Amino acid sequence: MTSAYQELSRTFQRLSRFGHLGAIAGVDMQTTMPPGGSQARGEAMAELSVFMHEVLTDKRLGGLFDAAQQESLNDVEQVNLSEMQRAWQQATLLPASLVEAKSLAGSRCEHAWRQQRPANDWQGFSANLKEVVKLSREEAQLRADALGVSRYDALLDVFEPGMTSAQLDQTFGDLKSWLPDLLQKAVAKQQQTPIAQPVGPFAIESQKQLGLSVMKTLGFDFNHGRLDVSAHPFCGGVPEDVRITTRYNENDFLSAMMGVIHETGHARYEQNLPKQWRGQPVAQARSTAIHESQSLFMEMQLGRSKAFLQHIHPQVVALMGDQPALELNNFIRQTQRVKPGFIRVDADELSYPAHVILRYEIERALIEGEIEVEDIPALWDEKMQQSLGIDTRGNYRDGCMQDIHWTDGAFGYFPTYTLGAMYAAQLFQAVKHAIPQVETLIQQGDLQPVFDWLQQNIWQHGSRFPTQQLLINATGEALNPHYFRQHLEQRYLSE
């Protein structure tokens, strides 16, 4: 006889396969789909979302969960059962009509955003965003009522289980108490050494070749993934077929290069999730912040380190051309430059948390109903002025319209970027402790010991452990923001 657990496993295997198709269709929508296909694709993806929702909310599953609880399961199966039940409980909170409406509104908003952002069309964008916010508030209220938490905390729990806005306020409040001073000191220190700017144009094809070369250095499996172009860099697809994207600027090759390194961090995590459990929730990434820790580990801890930059420097010169600004020391200074700017994805390590905290504070107020969509531009400018001294009035394209996350209602996602940066700093400190010669190995291009450490401590575990337990197992302690501060002070004030 088939056990209840086996029936549940088969159901989630089906959901995984349907999700596979949805993920690839979503990637295509943002990369190669012609504009005229938007409405039909949006409707098809909404239909798929509703179908998957119906499978996941089948009332028969409730009895199977009760029966499976009584069966003899090993440790991994027990965790998988718990993760399946969490997914089922989360889904049963939402009616199919809301799932469909949110998917359609998100598709419309994201597709229109691609033209509205370059045109600086806030009015057009805000009209679509209002519908996304309305539906996201409905979702948040349903989740909040069931969990007994605030609207925003209910959405935050989707991306980072167990995290609360109270914890974020404490962590980010501490960060805000010392980061502005460190930022000012770093800028002042760097002003003492002029930095020559690389002079373009840099051919798109050469930038692509540099990206592919760096991906190879970072161990990307091209048999199970590829690099494409999109309006906003992302990592999508599925573990067996990971799609990463970047965007190119002929006058600035560093933006695309660092974007590729960041997305490759996501991809390596996906490509190395436990294959023996694939198709089951326990084989999925632990949380969004852990996912971001892997991309920021690659981009910030590894990719912007002197050792790594020294290793890839010959590739950069060979593909971008030999010019004074690409002399090794200047190249390193350019890559580690601290210069507050408009764009989050191009921000330096010290400015980046300010971008994240700004978005967190705005989206929380928006979901809680404390502000409305029309209030966003003025509030955005106020916070940018306060944190980075930058004026965004009237510049919606480089201000509140620059990100893709809100277009499909991904409220609760932004805080995970800075949590991920903190996790990454703590993980890299543990790597240095475990591999004392790691800097030399990186400079020589021997990154396998680092990848082996990540495989042993993060990648192979999927969702087997809660986030903080995973961190304790890997580093010996739960989240400790001290390592993030220590890393920033050492790189930007000591070196």
Contact 435, 427 (CB under 8 A): no
Residue tagged 């960060």 (tokens): 175
From CA 156, how far away is CA 95, in angstroms rounded? 20
Helices (H) and strands (E) in the chain — how many of each? 20, 3
From CA 242, how far away is CA 27, in angstroms rounded? 10
Residue tagged 């971001």 (tokens): 292
Residue 25, class by beta-carbon neighbours within 10 Å (0-12 exposed, 13-18 middle, 19+ buried)?
middle
Active site positions, annotated: 263
Q: How many CB atoms lie within 10 A of CB 402?
A: 19
From CA 378, how far away is CA 384, in angstroms rounded? 10
Q: How many CB atoms lie within 10 A of CB 368?
A: 16
From CA 57, how far away is CA 53, in angstroms rounded? 6
Contact 132, 106 (CB under 8 A): yes
Residue tagged 């996941």 (tokens): 56
Q: How many CB atoms lie within 10 A of CB 495?
A: 11
Q: For strand 241-246 and strand 235-238, is the pairing parallel, antiparallel, or unpaired?
A: antiparallel
220-227, Cβ contacts within 8 angstroms, sequence gap of 24 or more: 220/264, 220/267, 220/268, 220/271, 221/271, 224/271, 225/267, 225/271, 227/260
Among 257, 270, 291, 290, residue whose Cα is nearest residue 221: 270
φ and ψ at residue 303, rounded to 5 degrees: -65, -30
Contact 182, 370 (CB under 8 A): no
Peptide linkage before 194 cis (omega within 30 of 0): no
Among 467, 428, 493, residue whose Cα is nearest residue 157: 467
From CA 68, how far away is CA 71, in angstroms rounded? 5
From CA 172, how far away is CA 95, in angstroms rounded? 34
From CA 301, how far away is CA 295, in angstroms rounded? 10
